[in-house]
Amino acid sequence: MNSDMKKFKTFDSFSFSSNLLNNINSKWLMITAGNLDLYNMMTASWGMFGILWNKPVAEIFVRNTRYTHNFMEKNDYFSVSFFDEDYRNILDLVGSKSGRDFDKMAIKNLTALSYENKTVYFEEANEVLICKKLLAYPLHKDLLPEQINKNFYNTFNEEHHTAFYGEIIQYLKKV
């Protein structure tokens, strides 16, 4: 681990906000699930954050064909991380290759940390949300507006997404 690296501090989950829509859209997210022995992560640029059942909640969308989907199904926790621009190439990598084809755990410059043996996050992230899975909701084609089906699912007969809702149980931020 780089000793110059800033340390994470914990913050109240309800305080998470920082320029949210811009961050999701342009900086993207990294979604990680599993444990230190076996985890996988992928890049996402869709995500929703808000309040549900009085809890601070993250909602992310993972296509059923992603290797990460298996990890999301099998594990009770996942993490959502935001990185600096310096890590764009890593986000590109984990967002273009599947963990089925190469070992994402071996990526240099990413230091995996365990959050209380519940899930994995990375020392190099700036902000991390540790999420406890609340619901996995398959967005089947018959639920979606025609135009959305046409634009996002019909062209290559793609698989649908599952919306995973997680209670944000910890908000970590570098200060």
Residues in contact with ligand FMN by the rule CB under 6 A = 28, 40, 42-46, 61-63, 66-68, 95-100, 161
Min separation Cβ 28 and ligand FMN, Å: 5
Of residues 53, 57, 91, the one with CA closest to residue 171: 57
Query: Rounded to 5, what percent of the chain is helix, strand, coil?
Result: 25, 40, 35
Hey, CA dihedral for 136, 141, 143, 144, is it positive or negative? positive
Min separation Cβ 23 and ligand FMN, Å: 13
Q: Which is nearer to ligand FMN, 97 or 174 (CB)?
A: 97
Min separation Cβ 2 and ligand FMN, Å: 25
Residue, CB closest to ligand FMN: 95
Backbone angles phi, psi at 108, to 5 degrees: -70, 160
Q: Which is nearer to ligand FMN, 5 or 38 (CB)?
A: 38
Yes or no: say if 122 and 113 are a contact pair by the CB < 8 Å rule.
Answer: yes
Min separation Cβ 164 and ligand FMN, Å: 10
